[in-house]
Structure 1
Amino acid sequence: MNITETIVRLAAPYTAVAFDVFDTLVKRDVAKPTDLFLLAGSDFAKARVQAEAEARAQKQGEVTLAEIYGRPCLARYDPARECALELEAVTPDLPLLDAVRTLQAQGKRIYYISDMYLPPEQIAAMLARCGYDGLDGGFVSCSYGVQKRSGTLFRRFLRETELKASQVLFVGDSWRADVVGAALAGIRAWHLPSHKAMPEFVSADDFAGGAVSAFVQNRVGQRPYDGEVLGFSVLGPLLVAFCRWLHERRVQYGHGKLYFLARDMYLTQQVYGILYPEEETCYLQVSRRSLCPALLAEKEYPLLWAALPRQKLTGAQIAAYCGADCPESFARQSFDLKSEEMPAGLRELFAALCPPPAAELVHAYLRQSGLEMGDLLVDVGSGGTTQILLEALCKIRLHGLQLSGDERLRKRLSDDRAEVFLSLAQEAAKLYWAGQPMLERLISQDIGAAKGYAAGINRITVCREELTPEPVLADIQRGALAFAKAWQTSVLAPVIPEPALSIAPFLHLLAKPSKTQTRLLGDLTVEDGGVYPLAKPQPLAMYLLHPAQMKRDLAESRWKIGFLRRLLPGALPYDRLYLAMKK
């Protein structure tokens, strides 16, 4: 249903249209009204809830804010603080705002009628903040001591505006107070359907999670589920929480520059810059491949092996990866780099390779970067390989700050050398690692990986592999940046969602993707030791004739749940099917 068009069509025969205010014209960026009080502290929230209960118990009809603050338990609190929070936490319901502006342009008289303890001046200020200008008047229950549900406030509205009930359409979200209450005064009412909750957030029931959920859904709930919406709702909360954690760690250590590793941490650095514009950060453009020439030159053979792609490669391919020429005797020899131990003959291959001239350019770039002892290295994770390589080449110790880390990290780096933001339960961890290549692509700079360096005029420049940019990634990243900008200027800015809550929308995307989401993301390719499709099955009919091809395509896919969702559209438990296959 198009809410704006529906309201405008229903209002056509009426002279005036009146609207409920809260959860109709405006929304609050909290899960429930009393959560707003928590923004002023838990002690205040407890006293505020108690005071309103006491005030309502002593009076029939609507109470006023002054009567609530007249209770002894709120004696040391100023109602101005609550009014300021209400003003900061309010946001317009965009389809309703569009409807009001369209109706005003048609010459309709527009009013608001609200059951509320806040004074009319406060509600008028909140409506104006949300863009509702030029309204013809408002009626608030606390000014009259009567409420909508009895029909009395509606009759008072008709009397003071000199309108007939047949001239008015009322729009509200409550069947009892709005629809029945208006009917008792003879006014036709239309019940505003509740927005369909975004499935990523339906289980967020704590204060921080509920606030994030409300904040997101108040801004994107009525928009098409395109790339920008996905970035706003899925990546935005995760990266803001991660950047808040990074900032805490930077303050904790009090020294050391913050280096974001290209390309994976490109979007994270952009979000960090929005949240902390006064801080200077660095972008280190290295890849494991770009470091290989220097590792080869310094005969760091175990580290060089760790830097190679986990694939089966020939000697010629390994030499090319290291920027060296391969002796003919090793060119066709195959090496299984997926093995737990260094493959037989690999050390001999390394020793036979001539150190490439590019090795000195690697060191020149690292010197140019200014990387020093104790600097903080931000990476997507998982095993800390790049940190170890940089420490070996620069002869320094860094402190890693990783979005995620697997069991390899703790075997390689102690707690005082690397910290991890995400700590997931076993089931969530399985899903996360199934989608980690996708997450890397979504937050990475959409350019080719660094493959080496070149000497420029007084500066070392980065040489890159070719990569065709994906427009959908630009949309997704624009959405994540929009979330960061909106969050930074909101009353919720001090709220830091727990890591498990901030990653929850991404885990939901992985486990229970919609048809639109798989179409949006499935055709992307990701780098995972090679270049692989994310979730791009061929037609089911082809697989029925060639089942072996389906097995190969599924094995190659890096988002197997998305692959199954696209191949077998419907309402199957794709995540449970995937986890069963993993077992």
Structure 2
Amino acid sequence: MKEQVYQWITRRAPAARDRYEALRRRGMSRRQALPVLVGGVASHLLRGSPVPDLGSGKQLPSGGSESAQNRGESPQALVRRLEAYGVISFDVFDTLLLRRVDRPETVFALVGAKLGYPDFARLRGEAEQAARRKKRQETGTAEVTLGEIWNQVSRRCALDPDRGMALELETERALCQGNPYFLPVVEQLRAQGKELVLLSDMYLPGAFLQQLLEEQGFGRFSRCWVSGEAGVSKGEGGLFALLREAYPHKSWIHVGDNPQADGAGPGKQGGTAFLYPNVHTQGEAFRAEDMSCLVGSVYRGLVNGKLHNGSAVYSPLYEYGFVYGGLFALGYCRFLREQAQAQRADRLLFLSRDGAVLLRLYRRLYPEDARPVYAYWSRLAAAKVCAGLFPADYFRRFLLHKADGSRSLKQILRPMELERFLPGLCKALDAGPETPLTHKNAPLVEQYLQGVWDQVLKAYEGQRLAAGRYYRQLLQGCARALAVDIGWAGSGPVSLELAVQTLWRLPCQVRGVVAGTNSLHSPERDGSEPLLLTGQLQSYLFSQAHNRDLWKFHNPRQGHNLFWELLLGAREGSLRGFYPQGEGFRLEFLPNPHGEAVEEIHRGVLEFAEEWLETERRLGLTLPISGRDAYAPLLEALARQNGPCRRSWEGYLDAPDLG
């Protein structure tokens, strides 16, 4: 209970906790150090947190998957509702068709990108408003066609309207996808011989809308009324009047997403309305907005369209990968490719376990690249293999980071594989095997092991030999290798580099790439900066000099590292170590109770990446994913108010000290 209270208090004042724990490590008693902790916490609470709140401030769902929130009736139930009517009319955009972006203005921005014209989205919007004003003055209606809009665009931009209209139609086609909720609905109603028509408040040509729907598998509709061509709209009731006049003796119902145009209008013309929940209205409450405009719009469009169309409910683990991991994994893989090309790497070592899904995605992106391989390496295995190279890190990882009284001396020596030293240690400390490791006796344990250091290193001799055999095979014929890891100190790539050069003397230079570095809240916050300076390490998401707001926000003390690592992981457990076997080696792993959960997360990651790649293919454009954009989705989940949401994932997190 005391430990829980301590953790609860110090999570809110990490700087005070760091000062307190530093004093305890130096041997100060709890009674002496406690006033420093209390004073630091009080000061923190009075002045407020120095860490800025980033993100969009969204309150994420805490009870199950997002796709289950506010879910309406099934497609089968909707068919039963609609089949009672003789004529069924459908809205087009945000109903039968979903754009791969969350706002129409993004279409104009992408047209501007293809035209190479600055600020085109704003100019296109102004031109549409001018065309509507002109039309209302001349005819009394504000309903316009695409041609009338582009006449106004050409006056503002001196662009060829024919080319511009062709590009806009091309971009709309690229971004449209059939709504999977309505595909079986339309198919079953058509099989029953129902009259199916389209009503759309839209400037695009009706023939073009029919063509889009046919391309997306909906077939051809009996009629298509669009406001720009008809001169009347759903919002003002004119399109519904045309429908009523065309089918005077049939009952009809209209399906659409707009509460005013689609929901209120039909009843005034003798029809019935079925209001379909707009996917972006449903998803807006949960989506990250602190992103660049184009990447953010495509990201939100894909996620909202997937989770809120109503056709399926996904598992929370799948959604964790799809919503928070896919954009990051795709952006990181492209960053890795850039680094591999720039550094002329002969081999890409995707370090276990965080490299597993990244390797799968990288090979999907670059199937012609023969350089990537999966490389077994872990903090636990590296600490033992490289104990003679990094003794301070060895003791910090195995002793100081675990000196909280929750583990006995016997339990501490087990992962170190030094159980043979337990009798001598107990005798030297005048303690029993079950004595807890604390900040007070941890230095004494370290002092004892340093006294028998040659024997400790000899205990790891076989592991050094076996690891050398493994990497000699993996790096054969390579002069330059790039080691890929999630982060955070860069110890994985750095320890591997020194082992390759010093222990095994292989003729290969190893450089590292990490997703993120140590942050402001890390005890060793400056540790990786010299490596970034010399280029031995590269970081994608953040560092002290790059996306500094994220560097200040990211807090391993609050589990941020673990939530990122949960997105990657692997089905197998963490590598326990390398061991000799004849003239070769064998690998031993710790158990992983969450292997199936990892696979479900990876499924979400990879399916998001596929949808993003399909969007780029259709657009003929590559959308660069910056590290800042890649972090943004998880930024929402890591915000203080979303602790209840995170609790649904906490059961799948690795232990903080797992190798």
Q: Give the TM-score normalised by the residue count of structure 2.
A: 0.71
Residue pair 1:400, 1:419 contacting (<8 A) in 2 also: yes
Provide the rounded CA distance (Å) in 1 between the counterparts of 2:134 and 2:455: 91
Question: Equivalent residue for 1:191?
Answer: 275
User: CA offsets, 1:323-342, max 9 Å, x none?
Assistant: 56734653436776997999
**1:410 paired residue number:** 528
Hey, what does 2:10 align to over in structure 1? none
Structure 1 residues 509 and 252, CA, compared in 2 at 3 Å: closer, same or farther?
same
Greater Cα offset, 426-435 or 132-141: 426-435
Does 2:326 align with 1:224? no
User: What does 1:75-114 align with in structure 2 at a 5 Å threshold?
Assistant: 75=160, 77-114=163-200
For residue 50 of structure 1, report the CA deviation from its aligned partner: 4.0
Q: How does 1:65-464 map onto structure 2 within 5 Å? A: 65-70=146-151, 71-72=154-155, 73=157, 74-75=159-160, 77-159=163-245, 162-164=246-248, 167-195=251-279, 196-197=282-283, 199-201=285-287, 203-204=289-290, 206-221=293-308, 222=310, 223-224=312-313, 226=315, 227-280=317-370, 281-292=372-383, 294-296=385-387, 301-302=391-392, 304-305=394-395, 308=398, 310-312=401-403, 321=415, 326-327=420-421, 330-332=424-426, 343-353=446-456, 354-355=458-459, 356-370=461-475, 374-395=480-501, 397-406=509-518, 407-410=525-528, 413-415=531-533, 416-423=535-542, 424-425=549-550, 428-430=553-555, 433-453=558-578, 460-464=585-589
Moved more, 277-286 or 305-314: 305-314
CA change 1:329–1:460 in 2 (3 A) is closer
Instruction: Label 1:510 to 1:293 Cα distance change in 2 as closer, same or farther (>3 A).
Output: closer
Task: State the Cα distance separating 1:54 from its structure 2 match.
Answer: 3.6
Matched, 1:486 2:576: no
Output aligned runs, 1:45-64, within 5 Å. 45-60=121-136, 61=141, 62-64=143-145
Q: Which moved more, 1:207-216 or 1:306-315?
A: 306-315
Q: Residue 21 of structure 1: CA displacement?
A: 0.6
Task: Classify 1:328/1:524 alpha carbon distance in 2 versus 1 (closer, same or farther; 3 Å).
Answer: closer
Aligned amino acid, residue 366 of structure 1: Y
- Any idea what the Cα deviations from partners look like across 1:305-353, whole Å, max 9, x if unmatched? 4664632477876765455673465343677699799932332232233
CA contact (8 A) 1:200 1:509 kept: no
Letter in 1 for 2:424: F
Q: How far is the alpha carbon of 1:279 from its aligned partner?
A: 2.5
Pairwise CA distance, 1:114: 1.0
Aligned equivalents of 1:448 and 1:389: distance in 2? 21
Evaluate the alpha carbon distance shift between residue 473 and residue 193 of structure 1 in structure 2; reply closer, same or farther with a 3 A threshold. same
- Where do 5+ consecutive residues of structure 2 fail to align? 1-71, 430-436, 502-507, 519-524, 543-548
**Deviation at 1:411?**
5.2
CA distance in 2, matches of 1:497, 1:240: 8
| CA deviations over 1:4-37 (Å, ceiling 9, x no partner) | 3563343243111101111121121222112112
Q: Aligned partners of 2:446 and 2:422: how far apart in 1?
A: 19
* Cα shift at 1:417: 1.8
Q: State the partner residue of 2:104.
A: 33
Match of 2:545 in 1: none
Q: Pick closer, same or farther for the CA change 1:299–1:89 going to 2, 3 Å.
A: closer
Quote the Cα distance in structure 2 between the aligned partners of 1:516 and 1:29: 26
Deviation at 1:232, TM superposition (A): 0.9
Q: How many aligned residue pairs are there?
A: 527
Alpha-carbon deviation of 1:86? 0.7
Q: Which has the higher contact order (CA 8 A, sep 6+)?
A: 2
Give CA deviations for 1:367-388 in whole Å, capped at 9, x if unaligned.
1111755422211111112222
Deviation per CA, 1:49-96: give whole Å up to 9, x if none: 344334333324432223333334332744222212111111233323
2:628 aligned counterpart, secondary structure: helix
SS of the residue aligned with 2:172? helix
8 Å CA contact 1:31, 1:207 repeated in 2: no
Moved more, 408-417 or 356-365: 408-417
Shift, 1:217, TM fit: 0.7
Answer yes or no: is 1:474 the counterpart of 2:599.
yes
Decide whether the 8 Å contact of 1:179 with 1:191 is kept in 2: yes
List runs of 5+ in structure 1 lacking aligned partners: 532-583
Q: Which moved more, 1:205-214 or 1:360-369?
A: 205-214
Question: Which range moves more in the overlay, 440-449 or 467-476?
Answer: 467-476
The 10-residue stretch of structure 1 (260-269 or 50-59) with the greater mean CA deviation from structure 2: 50-59
Deviates more, 1:47-56 or 1:321-330: 321-330
Q: Report the CA distance shift for 1:120/1:134 in structure 2 as closer, same or farther (over 3 A).
A: closer
Q: Is the 8 A contact 1:295 1:303 kept in 2?
A: no
Give the alignment's Cα RMSD to 1 decimal.
Answer: 3.4
Query: Do structure 1's residue 8 and structure 2's residue 84 form an aligned pair?
Result: no
Paired AA for residue 299 in structure 2: V
Displacement of 1:445 in angstroms is 0.5
Rounded Cα–Cα distance in structure 1 between residues aligned with 2:358 and 2:490: 18
Indicate conservation of the 8 Å contact 2:572/2:592, yes or no: yes
The 3 A distance-change label for structure 1 pair 246 and 426 is closer
Deviation for aligned residue 1:394: 1.0
Provide the rounded CA distance (Å) in 1 between the counterparts of 2:424 and 2:445. 16
Matches of 1:80 and 1:341 in 2, distance apart?
77
Give the aligned residue type for 2:376.
Q
Residues 402-435 of structure 1 show CA distances to partners (whole Å, capped at 9, x for unaligned) of: 1111114335624222122223447632378523
Aligned partners of 1:522 and 1:374: how far apart in 2? 38
